[in-house]
A and B are shown apart, each in its own frame.
Chain A
Amino acid sequence: MKKREKAEKIGASASRPVTGGYIIGGGVRAVPHNLILDIRRNKLIYILLVIVLAFFAVFNYAPMVGLLMAFQDFSPERGIFGSEWVGFENFVNFFSGPYAGRLIRNTIAIGVLDLVVNFPAPIIFALLLNEIHEKYFKKTIQTISYMPYFISAVVACGLVMDFTEAGGPISVLVANIVGGESVNLINQKQNFWLIYVLQNMWRGLGYGSIIYLSALSSVDQELYEAARVDGAGKWKQMIHVTLPGISTMIIMMLILRMGAVFSVGADKILLLYSPANYEYSDVINTYVYRMGMTQADYGLSTAVGLFNSIIGTILLMTTNAITKKLTDTAMF
């Protein structure tokens, strides 16, 4: 009882402005924090916290425990604590198996191509759009270019299949350009990579430019004025004012994308690929899906998935560290 009164007294007399009726900054710092007291006073907050934590425990942390399956000959009947431990056998089986090479090659090829094409594309689009000052033209281009984002992945991939098969609009167009008959494009070797990346571009170009456009609009106009007075042309203004103005945003997006290079999503490829083009379309995540969900080889698919997410996390951390060193901009 005494302690409580004391805490309240100190809290009330603290110099820091009182915000809310809860733990008051000054008071907390003046006396050692008392967990029991805090819980008693803020029951509701702790109840709500438990709900939030329970959610993350079940749907995010429990699966991390499930990663132990990667080191087991997992059987669902015996569960994660009853299954036989096999060490790194699943990893060894994967890397010495026939598919590891092509899976890693396809994942890197698609991931890197997607990064190289679809990371700068929205930036260039935003820069171009930013040069246009005719309001209605700009607005129309924006509205139309955001539209494909609202076409679902299923529909977009369905259209890709229709458009690239023999007689489809894209296939006919390609046949007109390179000559010859219109043929099914998606099964022709590396074409799959290009088609996947272009499909992503179609859906993501406009939508991806939104954040750059808003970053561009917050660049100080007086800097342009100053540059102009100093005799800088439009090109020099772009190099010395515009790009530095949005560089933070560009770096943040780059870090996020680097983390995703290796985790080429299964959802769209699962729709687009077929056994006829597995040689070039099968990536790590689709393999994880097939092994785990259709072949029920849980240990192997968990091991492959774990390998994939470790690489992804390393890439994210590395990019973050590099950009921190070079530019002082970082996510964390």
Chain B
Amino acid sequence: MKQSKLNRVTPSRALFLVIAVIILTAIAVVCFIPIWHVLMASISDPTQVNVSKGLIIAPLERVDLTAYSMILSYKTLWSGYRNTIFYIILSCALTGVLTVIAGFVFSGSRFYYRNTFMLIISFTMLFNGGMIPTYMVIRSIGMVDTVAAMVVPGALSVFNIILMRTSMQEISGALEEAARLDGANDFVIMFQIILPLCKATFAVIMLFTIVMKWNDYMSALLYLPTETGLYPLQMELRKILFQSSQEITSSSSVSNATVYARGVEYAAIIVSTLPILLVYPFVQKYFVTGMTIGAVKA
């Protein structure tokens, strides 16, 4: 009862809470409505979507999957899908190995000059060569129009190194010492003693890598000027959303292609976005951890 005196809800407090709930609900609605609109439009009759104005809250007249059957026959979207998954696997492997290596070198007392070299590396966060010089370097080492250009350039980032290094520094040195006395070499220590204890950080780095690669279209735009067969998903989506979707509709032997364009666009968005939206709530807590350590330590 005493507690409730301190915590009692005054009228102005109640008003504040009501307003706060209204604002927060409004924000959530604004965040969600566009996604819902796209989902509903994608399962409506494309010819109706083409002429409808304003938001689509429920399927127009009836559920119609024409747009999805058109998108299924659109080969390059699926090759983009396949390429993106391939790039994600490669990027995760490369980023994982390189970041663990760098974290291992720069954490602990293994390396005398660690702070000097960490400084040299951190400088790249402050200042960089920029788009064109980076492109010229990638071109001069023969990476343009290859898979490597999509995977290697962003594989190691200072931010990830700092995350990894911080997490490794928190491990007691006694553990490493004990392993060394048992005759373990560096590789054993790095991958069998230290890495398992940094699982959470490692998972966070992998998640960041996956999201980054999933969303990435700039590296394809810059580094794949002619090799369109290597285009990732986002480049294919860009073609569908920003150029014309007539290519798709005409390929599926439909006359009067433009009336289907909008519906097909929305089906393409759902097909390419739904997987990540369905998975993310389950890994949400890792993002929260990652953002938190990143912000505190970086």
Interface set of A (CB-CB < 8 Å, partner B)? 17-25, 28, 33, 38, 42, 44-45, 48-49, 51-53, 55-56, 58-67, 69, 76, 79-80, 125, 128-129, 131-132, 137, 140-148, 150-155, 157-159, 161-163, 167, 169, 172-173, 182, 202, 205-207, 210-211, 214, 228-229, 234, 249, 252-253, 266-267, 270-271, 285, 288-289, 292-293, 298, 301-302, 305-306, 308-309, 313, 316
Contacts and interface: CB of A to CB of B under 8 A. Distances in A.
Given A52-B101, A151-B273, A293-B222, A125 B27 contact: yes
Interface in B20-35: 20-21, 23-25, 27-28, 30-32, 34-35
Nearest to A307: B130
B137 A59 contact: yes
A49 B130 contact: no
5 contacts: A45-B186, A152-B217, A182-B53, A267-B217, A305-B133
Given A19-B177, A62-B137, A155-B272, A202 B30 contact: yes
B128 A131 contact: no
A298 B132 contact: yes
Nearest to B280: A150
B262 A214 contact: no
A17 B269 CA distance: 57
Contacts of A150: 211, 273, 276-277, 280
Contacts of B156: 52, 55-56, 59
Contacts of A79: 140
Interface stretch (B63-71, B197-205, B246-254, B281-289): B281-289
B281 A143 contact: yes
Contacts of A131: 16-17, 20
4 nearest A-B residue pairs (beta carbon): A63-B129, A66-B133, A19-B173, A158-B241
Contacts of A285: 131
Residue picked from A21, A80, A289, A305, most chain B C-beta under 10 Å: A21
Contacts of A163: 34
Given A205-B27, A313-B127, A214 B186 contact: no
Interface in B198-238: 211, 214-215, 217-218, 221-222, 234, 237-238
B120 to A, nearest CB: 8
Given A48-B101, A205-B27, A67 B38 contact: no
B268 to A, nearest CB: 9
Contacts of A64: 127-129, 133
B64 to A, nearest CB: 19
Nearest to B130: A305
Given A152-B273, A266-B131, A313-B126, A249 B111 contact: no
Contacts of A59: 134, 137, 152-153, 156
B262 A76 contact: no
B257 interface: no
A141 B141 CA distance: 48
B126 A210 contact: no
B126 to A, nearest CB: 6
Nearest to A166: B53
A44 B187 contact: yes
B278 to A, nearest CB: 10
B215 to A, nearest CB: 4
B21 A137 contact: yes
Contacts of B58: none
Given A49-B117, A169-B55, A288-B130, A55 B98 contact: yes
B294 to A, nearest CB: 8
Given A67-B130, A132-B21, A205-B27, A19 B180 contact: no
A249 to B, nearest CB: 7
B34 A24 contact: no
Nearest to A38: B112
Nearest to B126: A313
Interface in B108-124: 108-112, 117, 120-121, 124
Contact of B54 (A56, A159, A169, A207): A169
Given A48-B101, A56-B156, A150-B280, A69 B288 contact: no
A221 to B, nearest CB: 13
Contacts of B82: none
A49 to B, nearest CB: 5
Given A151-B273, A182-B53, A214-B292, A302 B133 contact: yes
B74 interface: no
Contacts of A61: 124
Given A143-B281, A293-B131, 13 more contacts: A20-B177, A23-B110, A23-B112, A49-B111, A60-B124, A141-B27, A146-B280, A146-B287, A147-B35, A167-B54, A211-B295, A253-B295, A308-B130
A67 B131 CA distance: 10
A208 to B, nearest CB: 9
